[in-house]
Structure 1
Amino acid sequence: MPARKRNIYLSGPMTGLPDYNYPAFHRVAAQLRASGHRVYNPAEFPHDGPPEEFPIRRAFASYCNFICLEADTIVLLPGWERSKGALAERQLALNCSLEVIEWRGAI
């Protein structure tokens, strides 16, 4: 039987990492999409300004909306347990009864 296609929220550490860890987010999102999954990648949140002007409240509202209303799975990138944002996203996912998967190269 073919694997089910998931609506995935991708979560992981960003703050304090080179390039905000975007390369890892983009790489994993591409792999998941190539497997047929729908992926919300927070590293793709639209913002053209400097990092210090990132609209964090608007971004988190969008992230939470997807987690609560559309996702069935959250995939956690390595280092998630040291990220306040990823910990909050994981807890929200648990509260919404999403499947929680730690990324190890595939799901």
Structure 2
Amino acid sequence: MFRSKVYIAGPMSGLVDCNRSAFNLAADVQKELGKIVINPAILPAGLSEAEYMQICIPMLMCADEIYVLDGWELSDGAMAEKALAKKLDLKIVYQEGVDHDIALLGLTASA
């Protein structure tokens, strides 16, 4: 059985705890949907933005699709990841406000 691999992309820099709660909630939802999740929010704190991108680009290149969190347009890194995903012809899925998958699965940010 083929399980899609999804990379989570979105804004991190300058946000509380690097927006890890949003990334982790999206990862939980994607796991519940049966996907293999590649979540950059699991990387350790303390690296430079360039170092994060050096790690994240190969992670993205292993994926079949990219799940783009709200606010991605405000993040240079997420914009670069989305552009690369488009070039690699990956499926692009946008969070777009209320995530209906989250509501359907009954998950919350505190889960």
Could you tell me the TM-score, scaled by structure 1's length?
0.81
Once residues 19 and 93 of structure 1 are traced to their aligned partners in structure 2, the CA distance between those partners, rounded to angstroms, is 25
Could you tell me the TM-score, scaled by structure 2's length?
0.78
Matched, 1:63 2:56: yes
Structure 2: 5+ residue runs without aligned partners?
103-111
Name 1:99's counterpart in structure 2: 91
Secondary structure in 2 aligned to 1:100?
strand
Once residues 55 and 15 of structure 2 are traced to their aligned partners in structure 1, the CA distance between those partners, rounded to angstroms, is 22
Change (3 A) 1:31 1:62: same
- Share of identical aligned residues, percent? 33
Once residues 66 and 20 of structure 1 are traced to their aligned partners in structure 2, the CA distance between those partners, rounded to angstroms, is 18
Once residues 36 and 101 of structure 1 are traced to their aligned partners in structure 2, the CA distance between those partners, rounded to angstroms, is 15
Structure 1: 5+ residue runs without aligned partners?
none
RMSD: 1.9
Name 1:38's counterpart in structure 2: 36
Moved over 4 A (4+): none
Aligned AA (1:86): A
Aligned length: 98
Secondary structure in 1 aligned to 2:57?
helix
Secondary structure in 2 aligned to 1:101?
strand
**Deviation string, structure 1 residues 52-102 (Cα, Å, up to 9, x no partner):** x3154443222111222x211000001001111100000011111101110
Aligned AA (1:44): I
Secondary structure in 2 aligned to 1:54?
coil
